[in-house]
């Protein structure tokens, strides 16, 4: 539209030139304005800084991206949650406000953002310049404060017994406490308190799919829970097709960094839980988020995840 108007003004000036010299001046002025606008646009470096209002927002927050400079921009913003693999794309036009708000983030995890096909035109729309956007920082969507004490503590009430709780569903049958089940007439399962267990390991496996975000939240919450109580623990994550990376003395911060930037959804590798258990001593307890529910080992407690 701008190019058409520019061309029309030059044409009008040339037509008027036949009747008056003012037409020539009009055409010359329009051409000069076009040259100046194009030169200003092309002389720019074509780089724009992009910052975020918060680099570590909580889940549910809508991050706001702010673009530097004053000129209008147009392009696409691509977002990918590393933990869940969820991808989204947005066509954006940046005007005077210089900002673009992403949707509220439903899942925790590192947010990988790319800026593609960004460009800007001069005032008259004659030239288009490709723009490279540089982000100031990496956005990490932080998990909520999830209560995980029930994973360790016995159930409350008159029938509370150390080391066992009433079956809630999903626990492996090998943990069924037959003595208490017979005594109270309803199923009980053994649980493991940090004070009575050996070394504790937190494990997130490949291919958690729709449960990846929930697993990431619970892994981070478990790390904070153990750290608050002074219980040492380790973190295990897959590394390659059939290997596992072990962090022997982990803390809540290192777990956040590792788990929120690991593709727990990915099905590219098969379960590495068997490989993990060959590398750990006999007296450990492993709290595992895995789809490999057929794996049987008394040292492993497979925890459930909730689909998003």
The reply to whether 111 and 200 lie within a common domain is no
Residue 155 domain-assigned?
no
- Which is more confident, 233 or 174? 233
The reply to whether 86 and 11 lie within a common domain is no
The reply to whether 38 and 137 lie within a common domain is no
How far lies 48's CA from each of 94, 118, 128, in Å?
12, 10, 15
Q: What is the mean pLDDT of residues 107-114?
A: 94
Residue 203 domain-assigned?
yes
Q: Which domain holds residue 27?
A: 2-43
pTM over 0.75: no
Q: What is the mean pLDDT of residues 168-179?
A: 65
Pairing of strands 233-238, 244-247: antiparallel
Residue 84 CA to residue 96 CA, distance in Å, equals 34
Amino acid 161: pLDDT: 39
Pairing of strands 128-130, 109-121: antiparallel
Give the confidence band of 157 by pLDDT, cuts at 50, 70, 90: very low
Quick: pLDDT tens for 51-63.
999 999 999 999 9
The reply to whether 69 and 134 lie within a common domain is yes
Contact of 252 with 224, CB cutoff 8 Å: yes
Amino acid 156: pLDDT: 33
Residue 97 domain-assigned?
yes
Residue 205 CA to residue 237 CA, distance in Å, equals 7
Contact of 137 with 92, CB cutoff 8 Å: no
The reply to whether 88 and 121 lie within a common domain is yes
The reply to whether 75 and 112 lie within a common domain is yes
Residue 262 domain-assigned?
yes
Give the confidence band of 153 by pLDDT, cuts at 50, 70, 90: very low
- Whether the per-residue pLDDT at 39 is higher than 70: the answer is no
Question: Domain with 124 in it: what CATH number?
Answer: 2.60.40
Give the confidence band of 160 by pLDDT, cuts at 50, 70, 90: very low
Structure tokens at 250: 């982990």
Pairing of strands 132-135, 47-52: parallel
> Which of 100-114, 156-170, 266-280 reaches the highest mean pLDDT?
100-114
The reply to whether 53 and 34 lie within a common domain is no
Residue 230 domain-assigned?
yes
The reply to whether 83 and 122 lie within a common domain is yes
Residue 156 domain-assigned?
no
Give the confidence band of 28 by pLDDT, cuts at 50, 70, 90: low
Residue 153 domain-assigned?
no
Q: What is the mean pLDDT of residues 274-280?
A: 92
- CA 5 to chain CA mean position, Å: 45
Tokens 């990496």 correspond to: 138
Number of domains in the chain: 3
The reply to whether 56 and 37 lie within a common domain is no
The reply to whether 298 and 235 lie within a common domain is yes
Grouping H, G, I as helix, E, B as strand and the rest as coil, residue 202 is strand
The reply to whether 122 and 79 lie within a common domain is yes
Quick: pLDDT tens for 209-226.
889 999 999 999 999 988
As a whole-number percent, the residues of the chain with pLDDT over 70 amount to 72
Q: What is the mean pLDDT of residues 280-284?
A: 88
In this structure, the number of other CB atoms found within 10 A of the CB of residue 59 comes to 16
132 HSE (CA, 13 A, CB side): 5
User: What is the CA angle 41-43-44, rounded to 5?
Assistant: 70
141, 159, 180: which is the final residue of a domain? Answer: 141
Q: Where are the beta strands (DSSP E) in the chain?
A: 47-52, 64-67, 73-81, 87-94, 99-101, 109-121, 128-130, 132-135, 139-141, 164-166, 188-190, 200-204, 233-238, 244-247, 285-289, 300-302
**Among the listed residues 92, 138, 137, the one whose alpha carbon sits nearest the alpha carbon of residue 115:** 92
Tokens 């929120």 correspond to: 260
**Among the listed residues 97, 104, 54, the one whose alpha carbon sits nearest the alpha carbon of residue 79:** 104
φ and ψ at residue 4, rounded to 5 degrees = -65, -45
The reply to whether 213 and 273 lie within a common domain is yes
Q: Average the pLDDT over each of 47-56, 164-173, 175-184, 298-307 and give the range with the smallest value.
A: 164-173
Residue 245 domain-assigned?
yes
Q: Average the pLDDT over each of 109-118, 161-170, 265-274 and give the range with the smallest value.
A: 161-170
- Whether the per-residue pLDDT at 199 is higher than 70: the answer is yes
Residue 29 CA to residue 10 CA, distance in Å, equals 9
Q: What is the mean pLDDT of residues 280-288?
A: 89
């Amino acid at each position: 539209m701008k190019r058409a108007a520019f061309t029309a003004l030059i044409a009008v000036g040339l037509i008027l030139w036949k009747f008056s010299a003012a037409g020539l001046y009009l055409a010359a002025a329009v051409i000069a304005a076009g040259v100046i606008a194009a030169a200003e646009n092309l002389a720019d470096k074509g780089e724009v800084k992009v910052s975020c209002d918060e680099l570590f927002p909580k889940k549910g927050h809508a991050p706001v991206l702010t673009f530097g400079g004053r000129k209008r921009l147009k392009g696409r913003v691509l977002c990918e949650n590393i933990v869940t693999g969820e991808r989204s794309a947005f066509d954006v036009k940046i005007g005077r406000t210089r900002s673009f708000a992403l949707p509220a983030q439903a899942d925790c995890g590192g947010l990988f953002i790319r800026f593609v096909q960004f460009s800007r035109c001069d005032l008259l729309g004659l030239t288009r310049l490709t723009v490279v956007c540089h982000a100031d920082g990496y956005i990490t969507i932080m998990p909520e404060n999830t209560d995980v004490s029930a994973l360790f503590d016995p159930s409350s009430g008159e029938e509370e017994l150390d080391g066992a709780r009433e079956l809630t569903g999903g626990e492996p049958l090998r943990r069924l406490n037959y003595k208490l089940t017979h005594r109270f007439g309803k199923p009980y399962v053994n649980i493991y308190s940090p004070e009575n267990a050996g070394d504790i390991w937190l494990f997130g496996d490949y291919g958690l799919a729709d449960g990846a975000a929930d697993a990431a939240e619970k892994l981070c919450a478990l790390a904070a829970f153990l750290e608050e109580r002074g219980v040492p623990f380790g973190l295990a994550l897959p590394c390659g097709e059939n290997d596992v990376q072990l962090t022997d003395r982990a803390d809540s911060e290192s777990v956040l960094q590792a788990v929120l930037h690991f593709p727990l959804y990915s099905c590219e590798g098969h379960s590495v839980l068997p490989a993990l258990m060959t590398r750990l001593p006999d007296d450990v307890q492993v709290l595992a988020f895995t789809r490999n529910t057929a794996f049987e080992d008394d040292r492993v407690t497979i925890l459930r995840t909730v689909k998003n």
